[in-house]
Homo-oligomer: A and B are copies of this chain.
Amino acid sequence: MNIALAQINPIVGDLTGNARKILDYARRAKAQGADLAVFPELCISGYPPQDLLDNSTFIEAVQHTLAHLAAEAPRDMGLIVGAPVRNPAPVGKRLFNAAFLFENGETLGTVYKTLLPTYDVFDEYRHFESSPSRHLVLWRGYKLGLHICEDMWNNEEEAPFYLYAANPIDELAALGAELFINISASPFSYGKHDVRNRLIEESCREHGLPFVFVNTVGANTEIIFDGDSRVHAADGTRLLCAPSFEEHLMLWDSNAPQTACTMQHDAIADLHDALAMGIHDYFHKTGAFSKALIGLSGGIDSAVTCALAANALGSDKVVGVTMPSRYSSTGSVSDSEALAENLGIEFHEIAIKPAVSAFEGMLAPAFAGTTPGVAEENIQSRTRGLTLMALSNKFNYLLLSTGNKSEMAVGYVTLYGDTNGGVAVLSDVLKTRVYELARYINRRAGREIIPENTITKPPSAELRPDQKDEDSLPPYAVLDEILRRYIEEWEELDTIVSHTGFDAALVHDILRRVDRNEYKRRQAPPGLRVTHKAFGLGRRLPIVMRWNRAAIRALAQESSVE
């Protein structure tokens, strides 16, 4: 049997465009001799369709698209695609997340998703009913263990806790499956490739079955799908691997001699490519912009964002603007200029003094007798933000915001100032990892892209004389360790202190800053998600709340006394 794995990049909602792409890949698969072409989860609608699924006209349109696909697909080849479909029962959620096997215009198999991720960025139980049962798909005499994404993820052998009662993989094996086929929309996160390797290898070995995994690729608003489609042999060996972060069609002949795939992944390279794809797809899938625009401060975040944009879109599609103020170091302009030159991008300088002075004059009566502080600092940042948005509005530039995860976490950003933008490129990348990215970018280019001075000088917002980030924050190595544990692992005060030995008052202060700055993050642009816990869709916290660690400690002591 010759199976084509079609790792495609659909656009959410673009039913006709996605169908055209699926037909194109199906025809190429057929031309290469495929018996069966497998496409990703919800490839008709794109993933995540979110509340488009509440639009019944959209669901009808999906039905029409499926009929069109079944009719137009190449003859004498199976076609597996994913789409949302109506739940025919008068009870439960109104839709199923379904996989269909078509051939010669007929529907030969239909499978509904059983395990519906409803955590982190996933909201599947918002729309979908869980499949009440598991069954095999019989096709040309083969017993296919076809299932959808999360259905393969409840399979750890010795877990202390299972999120779901059902284990579709085990059930399909027990029903006599000869081959697992998983169609996924499984997002990228740092290190996820290795997790998938382990999970699929274990599933193969446990059941002695080969495994075909077809994942979607591309970025849809904030969620990035890496692809990473593959075939594993019954003993777990990875036989065939698709390159990550690009569309790919590959064929697996199950009867040919099998050799292992040796493709290696480098975590920082994957991170780079994920972010570049995030920029690329936001830009091209909206189709609304002429170029990308970045405010260059001479610092590491804007430099890395700019290099990623140039990589994603081409140097001719990137505009950098430096906007010095009276507090800017000379490096602010010269390092930005060097970066722009290294990248070969369009570069402008617009000094912000006129507007800042105007605001100072306008506000002088109201501010009389007060001490300069955050309000004055923010005027500078917001003047820059306004200047960039004026350029964006005038020339249809996509403004990229440059704040990193560490800053966004503790609120070391100015709302309506440096947070401005259509997409936040680094908002899921801790500052220490932004440095890793900078070094990787230079290493990969084999020359200086990010100026050395940008990498080595102490980070500063340059909003008052001689300001340094470390005046307001602990060293980033310490800060990031606290943030990673709190945000990505949900470790709390005591656990973090006992694991790291950091000062309890410091950790307490940082956690409170994270909690209190939810209001800034709620209004931030969508941020490219590259860890298993990013701000935004995947981390939903109240703005108005009083989780008081100190008060509760007293109560805990009282109740342990009783």
Contacts and interface: CB of A to CB of B under 8 A. Distances in A.
Contacts of A55: 490, 492, 547
Nearest to A58: B547
Nearest to A350: B362
Contact of A48 (B68, B373, B542): B542
Given A64-B555, A363-B387, A543 B221 contact: yes
A92 B366 contact: no
B366 A348 contact: yes
A390 to B, nearest CB: 5
Interface stretch (A281-289, A308-316, A448-456): A281-289
A547 B52 contact: yes
A422 B163 CA distance: 37
A383 interface: yes
Interface stretch (A118-126, A142-150, A462-470): A118-126
Given A56-B490, A552-B15, A562-B67, A354 B362 contact: yes
Interface stretch (A27-35, A194-202, A268-276, A520-528): A520-528
Nearest to A160: B90
B57 A493 contact: yes
Contacts of A126: 118-119, 123, 540
Interface stretch (A176-184, A238-246, A336-344, A374-382): A374-382
Given A57-B492, A542-B50, A161 B94 contact: yes
A60 interface: yes
A503 interface: no
Nearest to A47: B542
Given A119-B126, A355-B355, A552-B61, A524 B523 contact: yes
A118 B53 CA distance: 14
Contacts of A542: 12-13, 46, 48-50, 52, 220-221
A90 B519 CA distance: 35
Contact of A52 (B286, B545, B554): B545
Contacts of A165: 91-92
Contacts of A370: 394
A281 to B, nearest CB: 7
Interface in A37-79: 46, 48-52, 54-58, 60-61, 64-65, 67-68, 71
Interface in A1-39: 11-17, 19
Residue in A357, A367, A546, A556 whose Cβ sees the most chain B Cβ within 10 Å: A546
A374 B348 CA distance: 22
Given A17-B546, A48-B542, A543-B526, A559 B68 contact: yes
Nearest to A71: B562
Interface centre among A526, A552, A558 (most CB of B within 10 A): A552
A458 interface: no
A181 B54 CA distance: 32
A544 interface: yes
Interface string A497-527: 0000000000000000000000100111110
A81 to B, nearest CB: 15
22 contacts: A13-B542, A14-B546, A16-B554, A17-B546, A50-B541, A51-B541, A55-B547, A61-B555, A64-B559, A67-B562, A92-B162, A93-B163, A123-B123, A285-B545, A350-B362, A350-B363, A351-B362, A355-B355, A362-B387, A378-B390, A379-B390, A416-B420
